[in-house]
Structure 1
Amino acid sequence: MATYCFDGTLTGLLCCVFRAFRFQEFDVHITANPQSQHGLFDEFIVVSSQDVQGQRVWQGLKQKIQPGSLRQFYLCFLSEQEQAFQHLFDFCIYVFQHGHAVDGNYGHPAVLGMAQWAKQVGREKHRMEAFVRFKKCQDGLFLSLVRPDFNVLPLIERHFKARYQDQRWLIYDEQRDYGIYYDLDDVHQVQMNARQLDLQLGSGHSQAFSIELDAEEFLYDQLWKDYFHSVNIQARQNMKLHIQYVPKRYWRYMNEKSL
């Protein structure tokens, strides 16, 4: 069995599909990890990203599958999981080897697997839209540091641009070292070295960012905590149900959950 190693980009994955059909190699293991383990007699092939080849495969997919399946394909890719990459490769092989529409055949493991990963990424997108909290900085920038399970920043920028049109904001993914910045006109991707810098957000722990908070931010933070506790009915607390809807891994973003 051959192992195709690509650079982790969508174009790179599509180029793997292009190469598979070019050399008629369909029983292939897909990985984005150059250190991936492979069998002693397996062929390890590094597939370079080429825009022309990637576009040919993408345009072919657009002609063969429904728009909903194309979106599922993109969401599955944003999971950044090796298993998901394999499902996407196998899905492409399955689609292009059949003359009729097969993207609705959930009996095929690649079609089902792609849909399942897309569902998980979509769920993470909605939770980020619900649980992201901003801190106001001295220069008027509203900042939020996040660490989502999947790479969902490309999916949430439209939501936040529509919701916060009158203020500059930055949502920065600490795990992937990039963010989306809105400058009152457009949303841009930005990168900076966030690991070497510190910012005390007043929540009892240090966050990695060198930005001074607005003097009134701590007041608004406390006002929100007071409001949350005043409307909370202690006698009717159901922590098990609460955690089901608001998992603990999201509490780090929420002012009312900090001490």
Structure 2
Amino acid sequence: MSRFPVRRRSAAEALSAAATRRRTAPELRNPPLDYAYDGSFEGLLTVVFQVYDRKAAPNSIQPLGAVQVGLFAQPVQVDTDETAAARVWDGLLRYMDKEARTRLFHAFLSEVPDRELLIFRYADAAMRAGRDIAENYADDNVRRIQRLAQQMYREKHRMEAFVRFEKTSDGLFHATIEPDFDVLPLIAAHFTKRYADQRWLIFDRRRHYGLYYDLHRTDIVQFDADTAPQRRAAVSATVLDEREPLFQLLWQSYFDHVNIPERKNIKLHRRHMPLRYWKYLSEKQPREQPFQPINNKRPVQPGGPALAAGGEAQG
């Protein structure tokens, strides 16, 4: 008989252990398939659900508009199922924390050509390991997801800093952007909180959709190619508020006067404010009137009285 007492687990501890037990992903023993989906993130999660339901690994996962059909195989078209997508999204938390799961969404927004397979391989590896693999940098999928998440983070913060609104005649504040990645879903909360007292629209010219805030909620709005706002100058010439040119002139004047020519460093400036953003920045547009520095310094006259630190002349 053992001299040491045996500690028995309580019913609550047993239930907790059972709840946190992680099941590994099922074996994908059927022949691989090509999958096609509608291009949405929910659609991709539905494809992941179908992969394990069919037990058939993906040869490829392609949006419907970009499907490349093979000679002998037709892709399996997967219709988006929000219930299945939510089940997959919630189930990922058994194998990774929320931050790691969010990185998968950011990788999807990066729009890299093979992002669907990359996300699937990362999720599949985590499920087969039965744990979070975010620190396993020996895995190429982990490194790529981490790198894409960092690029998205930088682009998100640049958009939050570089968006310039113009007021239209009906009181709407409009801004056009053209980011490298699809960052509108990531900046919506920032602008909704910061500009909660005004109506605004941020339009992504490259992807033909935008965010619209109506003082109550922020919605995604779609534009056709024919009706979408074009260049910044075209919008300004037709619908700008009559005071907007003055606001831009004041902003440009402020920018010019806080600038210190002696400390100009173009290389550093372009690193923090890349050239591709300049066409949408008010301070980078041609000046309607040349910049004149403020002439508020009195020259020291030869032989004149010197000013002491306190401002009084020394006699």
Q: TM-score surpassing 0.5?
A: yes
Do the aligned partners of 2:208 and 2:228 also contact (CA within 8 Å) in 1? no
**1:135 counterpart = 2:166:** yes
Q: Which residue of 2 aligns with 1:122?
A: 153
Do the aligned partners of 1:199 and 1:210 also contact (CA within 8 Å) in 2? no
1:66-85 to 2 correspondences below 5 Å:
66-85=97-116
Measured at CA, do residues 192 and 35 of structure 1 come closer, stay the same or move farther in structure 2, by a change above 3 Å? Answer: closer
Whole-Å Cα distance in 1 between the matches of residues 225 and 270 of structure 2?
A: 30
- The one-letter code of the counterpart of 1:89 is F
Do the aligned partners of 2:205 and 2:229 also contact (CA within 8 Å) in 1? no
Question: Which residue of 209, 212, 218 corresponds with 1:178?
Answer: 209
- The one-letter code of the counterpart of 2:254 is Y
Whole-Å Cα distance in 1 between the matches of residues 138 and 47 of structure 2?
A: 24
Q: Which residue of 2 aligns with 1:251?
A: 278
Whole-Å Cα distance in 2 between the matches of residues 129 and 105 of structure 1?
A: 31
Look up the SS of the partner of 2:75 in the other structure: strand
Whole-Å Cα distance in 2 between the matches of residues 96 and 246 of structure 1?
A: 40
List per-residue Cα deviations over 1:117-164 (Å, max 9, x = no partner): 111111111000000000011111111011111111111111112211
**1:242 counterpart = 2:269:** yes
State the structure with more CA Rg. 2
**1:26 counterpart = 2:53:** no
- More displaced 10-residue stretch of structure 1: 151-160 or 28-37: 28-37
Whole-Å Cα distance in 2 between the matches of residues 197 and 178 of structure 1?
A: 8
Question: Which residue of 117, 133, 139 corresponds with 1:102?
Answer: 133
Whole-Å Cα distance in 1 between the matches of residues 237 and 228 of structure 2?
A: 5
Q: CA deviation at 1:18?
A: 1.5
Do the aligned partners of 1:30 and 1:89 also contact (CA within 8 Å) in 2? no
Do the aligned partners of 2:122 and 2:141 also contact (CA within 8 Å) in 1? yes
List per-residue Cα deviations over 1:34-69 (Å, max 9, x = no partner): 444465455532222112221221121022211110
Measured at CA, do residues 171 and 150 of structure 1 come closer, stay the same or move farther in structure 2, by a change above 3 Å? Answer: same
Do the aligned partners of 2:96 and 2:131 also contact (CA within 8 Å) in 1? no
List per-residue Cα deviations over 1:218-245 (Å, max 9, x = no partner): 0111121122222222332211111111
- Per chain length, whose mean CA-contact separation is higher, i.e. which structure has more relative contact order (CA < 8 Å, sep 6+)? 1
Do the aligned partners of 2:156 and 2:183 also contact (CA within 8 Å) in 1? yes
List per-residue Cα deviations over 1:239-258 (Å, max 9, x = no partner): 11111110011112211111
Q: CA deviation at 1:72?
A: 0.7
Whole-Å Cα distance in 2 between the matches of residues 20 and 59 of structure 1?
A: 17
Give structure 2 stretches of 5+ with no counterpart.
1-31, 287-315
- The one-letter code of the counterpart of 1:206 is A
- More displaced 10-residue stretch of structure 1: 1-10 or 189-198: 189-198
Do the aligned partners of 1:17 and 1:93 also contact (CA within 8 Å) in 2? no
Whole-Å Cα distance in 2 between the matches of residues 141 and 217 of structure 1?
A: 12
Whole-Å Cα distance in 2 between the matches of residues 184 and 47 of structure 1?
A: 37
**1:144 counterpart = 2:172:** no
Whole-Å Cα distance in 2 between the matches of residues 38 and 253 of structure 1?
A: 40
Report how many residues are paired: 255
List per-residue Cα deviations over 1:152-196 (Å, max 9, x = no partner): 111111111221122111111122222111222221222233644
Measured at CA, do residues 247 and 220 of structure 1 come closer, stay the same or move farther in structure 2, by a change above 3 Å? Answer: same
Do the aligned partners of 1:3 and 1:43 also contact (CA within 8 Å) in 2? yes
CA-atom RMSD, angstroms?
2.3
**1:155 counterpart = 2:183:** no
Give structure 1 stretches of 5+ with no counterpart.
none
Q: Which residue of 2 aligns with 1:17?
A: 48
Q: CA deviation at 1:90?
A: 0.8
Residue identity (%): 39
1:30-69 to 2 correspondences below 5 Å:
30-37=61-68, 40-41=71-72, 44-69=75-100
Do the aligned partners of 1:199 and 1:212 also contact (CA within 8 Å) in 2? no
